[in-house]
Amino acid sequence: MNRLKIFAVMAFFGALFTASQLIGEEHLQDGMLGLTMEAIHGKLGMPKDYYLEEIPYRRYWLYPVEEASQVEPKFWADPNVPRDEMFPVERAGKKLLYRLQYAWDKSQPQAVQKVKKYWVYLKENPVELKDLASVVSEFASGVKADVLCFKSHQLHTNRIVVTFLLPETSELAGIIANNFREPADTNQWGVSYEVILCDGEEEVSLKSKVYEVIIVPSNKRRLLGFKKLGYNEIVNPFSS
């Protein structure tokens, strides 16, 4: 009987440990991708504004949360126009603006909205690339020398974009990239940081000023496939 009781207790705590592992693995190593909207609100507080976008950097709307009821019938009836949440955040004396985009995870009995992509705007307080991780803590994993780097130009602004692709891959990254559905491809997905440099920056170096960061799942095959669009693999500036 004592052995049975001990076994039952061990099994119980083992189940709790496994459950906690699963809960901890519901987001990627950046700390935000895959989190539920509720978890984000617990982490960043309630959003101050909603961001609606039809054409990136050209056609978009920003509305205070308290005015949501006035614009909902006009815009939010269209499922193709996502409602992103905006959060002002201050770190290391710098004022940042986080924009989070969600998708519905319907794999559970009750569907929940989870983070699929997010932006960190530094346009009011740009920092040098070498200091980015001290302000945007989610980028801490991107400063390692073995992280792949790709250079391109942003379509709508022509700013230089340096994409840092982490070497670690996971099934969850692929699921998030496919709007919380099982991916149809066999690509190895991981976290990528699209670091957008300020206007006038022509060269990529640790002294380049950063305007914006986009965090989203990606994979090497996808980025190499964009070569015809001007994506080129470059030496990681943190490797020197």
Judge contact between 229 and 203, C-beta under 8 A.
no
- Model pTM score: 0.83
Whole-number pLDDT of residue 18: 33
DSSP 198: P
Summarize pLDDT for 181-191 with one digit per residue, the tens.
888 778 899 99
Whole-number pLDDT of residue 7: 37
List, for the chain, all residue ranges whose pLDDT scores fall below the cut of 70.
1-25, 55-58, 71-82, 227-229
DSSP annotation string for 129-184: GGGHHHHSGGGGGGGSTTSEEEEEE-TTT--EEEEEE-S---HHHHHHHTTSS--S
Whole-number pLDDT of residue 52: 82
Whole-number pLDDT of residue 228: 64
Summarize pLDDT for 136-171 with one digit per residue, the tens.
999 999 999 889 999 999 888 889 999 999 999 889
Q: Which of 14, 13, 33 is nearest to 193 (CA)?
A: 33
